[in-house]
Amino acid sequence: MAKTPTKSAPAKAAPAKKNGLDTTIQSLGQAKIPSPLKYCRFVEDEQQLELRLTEEEADVPGGHGLHLSFEKAGPRGKLYFDSSKVKCAIVTCGGLCPGINDVIRAIVMDAYHHYRVASVIGIRYGLQGFIPKYGHDIVELTPHNVSNFHVFGGTELGSSRGPQPPEEIVDALERMNVGVLFMIGGDGTMKAAANIVKEIRARNSRISVIGVPKTIDNDINFVGKSFGFDTAVEKATEAIACAHVEAVGAYNGIGIVKLMGRESGFIAAQATLALKEVNFVLVPENPFSLDGPDGLLDQLEKRLRSRHHAVIVVAEGAGQHLCEASGSTDASGNPVLCDICTLLIARIKEHFKMRTMETTIKFIDPSYIIRSVPANANDRVYCGFLGQNAVHAAMAGKTGMVVSRLQSRYVHVPLELVTMKRKKMNIEADYWRAVLESTGQESMTMHRLPGVECPKP
């Protein structure tokens, strides 16, 4: 049942607090029911993994070299739920990303085949699906009807943006007698999940909420690499290769590729490292100048005079300081970005017209193609592990957490940590230095490691 008459508060595992950060995972109560899993090595809650996090894994004060203990993911020997009687629900929220269907499929397959759950339902069109006024039907998810989900991109359940009242969501969960809610989404979804958990606790209900972090931008804190990121980078390199072909096919040809990355430039940086044809990469974390001897326009002119072609990769959130923001927000509460590429193209044309230099600009925006494709093999494997470990955590009565992969280890991370802030690249770290070495671009702003003079490429 989703609600019990007991008045005791949800239990917590043994405290795991270090560096002012609490990694303790909430539990609905004591797990007493023997697991039905066979031929399995069970994980004990006391099995904590001591990890030393890098800048690419946790963007928090003191994040570099931060030591934390995390609860290890995996099947437990004792369950909180009688799995044969529990009803589960899955909802997908936010923008599309390669691998969502693979996670859905993995959850359903593991829940049915190994835990023999009573039912798994899919909530249509994100959190709107819980609210009666939208009129969205639910769908029964079985191994038969999810068997080919992984063939397609996007989400078979549909998605939406925008907050919905947690009270109405919990009302719906209780009406449907749902015991476990799996939420697949990004930063905004995880914040919504945290609010749902608070409402569940306020009502003293016994509903497990498990998050599976999804963001094509790879900007969720305490997630080493989000699912779909590898696929996105792979497809992005194809667009960059096309831009390079277009650039070298014209005298003073310039190929410009716009990639996802509202606040974090991980896709742009990783694709640049994967394909050595990029000459300039612009990311949100590194404000740049257009004008002056160190500005992009002068550097681009030098490049064209010497090589007669150039490729520029631009993350969508780069250069926001150069154009006027509208001040409005989208349905998820994110600021609406100005179109940096339109500004870049206009300024590049103006710059070279004044110098009577002939140029040809080819602009490629593959964003919707990239996010809509099916996951590649590596991401499918990753999604399978995430889905399975999400089911293991839920059946053991865990709640208020996400399943994350840190340093090739699957762990449980509290929602409070992943929603602290969005993860960004550290432009003083070795990773960004490697990106600059790959492009050969000179620094357009003075970002230097303390005490180190970097020679110009």
Length of the chain: 457
- 365 catalytic? Reply is no
Q: Which two tokens stand for residue 282?
A: 């612009």
CB atoms within 10 A of CB 41: 8
Q: Which of 246, 271, 255 is nearest to 370 (CA)?
A: 271
Q: Which two tokens stand for residue 218?
A: 């790879």
Q: What is the DSSP string of 343-406?
A: HHHHHHHHHHHHTT---EEEEE--HHHHHHSPP-HHHHHHHHHHHHHHHHHHHTTEESEEEEEE
Give the whole-angstrom CA distance, residue 131 versus residue 77: 36
End-to-end CA distance of the chain: 65
Q: Give me the sign of the Cα torsion angle 283, 288, 289, 292.
A: negative
Q: Which of 197, 271, 211, 198 is nearest to 239 (CA)?
A: 271
CB atoms within 10 A of CB 1: 13
| Sheet (strand 26-27) strand order | 11-12, 26-27, 398-399
Catalytic one of 217, 219, 230, 379: 217
CB atoms within 10 A of CB 347: 16
Residue type for 74, please? Answer: G
Q: Which two tokens stand for residue 36?
A: 């039905």
Number of alpha carbons in the 13 Å side-chain half-sphere of residue 302: 13
Known catalytic residues?
A: 217
